Amino acid sequence: MRVRFVLAQIGNGLRRNLAMAVSVVLVTFISLAFVGAAALLQMQVDKAKDDWYDRVEVNVYLCPAGEASQSCPDGEVTEEQIEELRGLLESDALADYVQTVYLETKEQAWEAFQERFGDQEWAQRITQDQMQFSFRVKLVDPEQYQLIYDELSGRPGVQQVIDQRSILEPLFLVLNRATLISVGLAVLMTVTAVLLITTTIRLSAMSRRRETEIMRLVGASNFFIQLPFMLEGAIAALLGAALAVGGLWVGVHYIVEEWLAESVRFMPFVDTSDVWTVAPILVAIGIGLAVVSSLVTLSRYTKV
Amino acid sequence: MIRFDNVSKVYARGHRPALDQVSLEIERGEFVFLVGSSGSGKSTFLRLVLREERPTSGGVFVAGRNLARISSWKVPYLRRQIGTVFQDFRLLNNKTVFDNVAIAMQVIGKPRHQVMSTVPETIEMVGLAGKERRLPHELSGGEQQRVAIARAFVNRPPIILADEPTGNLDPTTSVGIMRLLERINRTGTTVVMATHDDEIVDQMRKRVVELVDGQMVRDQARGVYGARKESA
């Protein structure tokens, strides 16, 4: 009887305040979508970093043939220069920082190049001689890049020292900025959601003041009087959270999985399974918001 | 059943107390009229019994419990011992007679089968058999008050408090309501009724407690409204 009674109360309340209930659903939806987006962006950053930092090496490009540039005034690097540089990288002085040193020959560079771009017509016209020697230096700690850079750049035969990490830095920067914006909007929308839920519950409580008064009079417990209001808020918030999860799923599925992941292959992306990881958190936040705001409101409007 | 020990209630500091040193004992199964003009403290008395107010000093005991000692979350359990009837009926206008009575059982979690059997029984007892599906605005004032009494009595509380239950009704209808309250009283229910209605009090010949300016000036068994009659 009690369950049925509470359900009937909730049904009445939601129907009587339909417009407000819908607005609570929508505002919760938007705010949780931003919370979720922020979480997914950070997951993306972590994922990319994990994968990337595991693989990153410092590339020491050696002077290629047929070119006399500022860093390579003497043309292509010589065998002696290569050996000298290898000796330096493998010296005791750098042993603490350098994990492995690997010399990529022109042939290997060409093969790797063809493997990656071989299906493009322009790539097939590249010859082995157009490639260049390079050292792949894997560091014990990728953060120590500056040391290798200082040690190697400017030495004869070295064209350029590139930290592979720096290639993705702009991407991480963009992702982090996007996260910040998401968090900012999420906070703003969450405040709006709390205010709106509070107002909705207050209206609902006021429109049922007589009923509440009578329930009080015949000995209904506080909890029992407040439960329908709380559940009304929680149901609206739950719907909002469900919409947010659905929205994120659609976004991740169609934009990331079907488009980004297909066209940008060098990096792992978040996928819909990550959305399911975020989902319970969003639902919990949604319900938490609703319950806390109702408790605060109801303690004022349905006093014993 | 209800005991007041030197109870005073002051709403605003510096003002005359609404109740001033009232001591009173009402036994189980008694029928007591609480008389006095407006502002004499009748409503305050009832609110103290319901623990809607706390006394400024003195002790209020209801059904063997000291109301000063019960914690606020237990107040609903106190109120389940007390049925309340008001001058303005306080029915839910969008609910049928049946639902208006049933709500008193539903909110305290009585099982459905019990509600289904007890509510019609009680509606019949107050003389509204066959009107279960009516809405309050389809009923006369007297009938509405019967619904309110059914709601107050449906859980068979040991105490019924009635705050001017005949205040909005004509004399003939009032007599019917009084007969009903008397019947309830005969089941062993303690009835405390605040009223202005001298005719009713004189007719019933029950215990009369008179309040004047918050002070108890008379406590008379089988009493009448009294010489200090004031028009309602």
Whether A129 and A237 map to the same domain: the answer is no
The alpha-carbon radius of gyration of chain B (Å, integer) is: 18
Counting every residue written for chain B, the total comes to 232
> Which candidate, B82, B17, B25, places its Cα nearest to that of B50?
B82
Closest-CA residue of B relative to A225 is B107
Alpha carbon distance A32, B181 (integer Å): 57
3-state secondary structure of A159: strand
Whether B75 has its CB under 8 Å from any CB of chain A: the answer is yes
**A–B interface: beta-carbon pairs under 8 A:** 62
Q: What pLDDT is attached to residue A197?
A: 85
Q: How is residue B225 annotated by DSSP?
A: S
Q: What pLDDT is attached to residue A67?
A: 62
Q: What pLDDT is attached to residue B228?
A: 52
Whether A47 and A26 map to the same domain: the answer is yes
Alpha carbon distance B174, B136 (integer Å): 18
Angle, CA A140 vertex, CA A138 and CA A143 arms, to 5°: 90
The alpha-carbon radius of gyration of chain A (Å, integer) is: 31
- Give me the domain span that covers residue A222: 2-53+168-301
Whether A195 and A267 map to the same domain: the answer is yes
pLDDT band at B230 (very low <50, low <70, confident <90, very high): very low
CA distance B20 to chain A (A): 25
pLDDT at B231 over 50: no
pLDDT at B232 over 50: no
Show pLDDT as tens, one digit a residue, over chain A (304 residues).
577 788 888 888 888 788 888 988 999 999 999 999 988 988 888 888 787 777 778 888 888 877 667 777 777 888 888 888 888 888 887 888 888 888 888 888 888 888 877 777 887 788 888 888 888 888 887 777 888 888 888 888 888 888 877 777 787 888 888 888 888 888 888 888 888 888 888 888 888 888 888 888 888 888 888 888 888 888 889 999 999 999 999 999 998 888 888 887 777 888 888 999 999 999 999 999 888 888 888 877 666 5
CA distance A195 to chain B (A): 28
Tell me the angle at which helices A2-16 and A222-251 cross, rounded to the nearest 10 degrees: 60
Q: Dihedral sign, CA of A223, A229, A232, A237?
A: negative
Whether A135 and A69 map to the same domain: the answer is yes
Whether A44 and A81 map to the same domain: the answer is no
Closest-CA residue of B relative to A209 is B92
Closest-CA residue of A relative to B92 is A211
Whether A110 and A45 map to the same domain: the answer is no
Alpha carbon distance B106, A7 (integer Å): 12
> Which candidate, B59, B54, B83, B57, places its Cα nearest to that of B71?
B54
| H/E segment holding residue B7 | strand B2-9
Which of A213, A225, A304 lies closest to B75 in CB terms? Answer: A304
Residue A146 half-sphere exposure toward CB, CA atoms < 13 A = 1
**ipTM entry:** 0.83
Whether A202 and A238 map to the same domain: the answer is yes
- Contacts for A77 with CB less than 8 Å, ≥ 6 apart: A62, A63, A133, A157, A158
Identify the CATH number of the domain in which residue A96 sits. Answer: 3.30.70.3040
| H/E segment holding residue B226 | none
Which residue, of A164, A193, A226, is where some domain finishes? A164
Q: What pLDDT is attached to residue A16?
A: 79
Q: Dihedral sign, CA of B134, B140, B141, B143?
A: negative
Q: Dihedral sign, CA of A122, A123, A129, A135?
A: positive
CB A230 within 8 A of CB A14: no
User: Which amino acid makes up residue B52?
Assistant: E
Q: Does the distance separating the beta carbons of A5 and B112 come in below 8 Å?
A: no
Alpha carbon distance B128, B123 (integer Å): 5
Alpha carbon distance A212, A223 (integer Å): 12
Total domain count, chain A: 2
CB A61 within 8 A of CB A159: yes
Which residue, of A122, A140, A164, is where some domain finishes? A164
Which residue, of A147, A164, A181, is where some domain finishes? A164
- Residue pLDDT, tens place only, B68-116: 888 888 899 999 999 999 999 999 998 999 999 999 999 888 898 999 9
Q: What pLDDT is attached to residue B227?
A: 55
- Residue pLDDT, tens place only, B36-74: 888 889 999 999 999 988 999 999 999 888 998 888 888
Which of A1, A217, A224 lies closest to B79 in CB terms? Answer: A217
Looking up tokens 């070295």 gives: A158
What domains does chain B contain, in order, with CATH numbers? Answer: 1-81+157-224 (3.40.50.300), 92-156 (no CATH)
Residue A156's region, left for phi above 0, alpha for psi from -120 to 50, else beta, is: beta
Whether A139 and A158 map to the same domain: the answer is yes
Whether A86 and A145 map to the same domain: the answer is yes
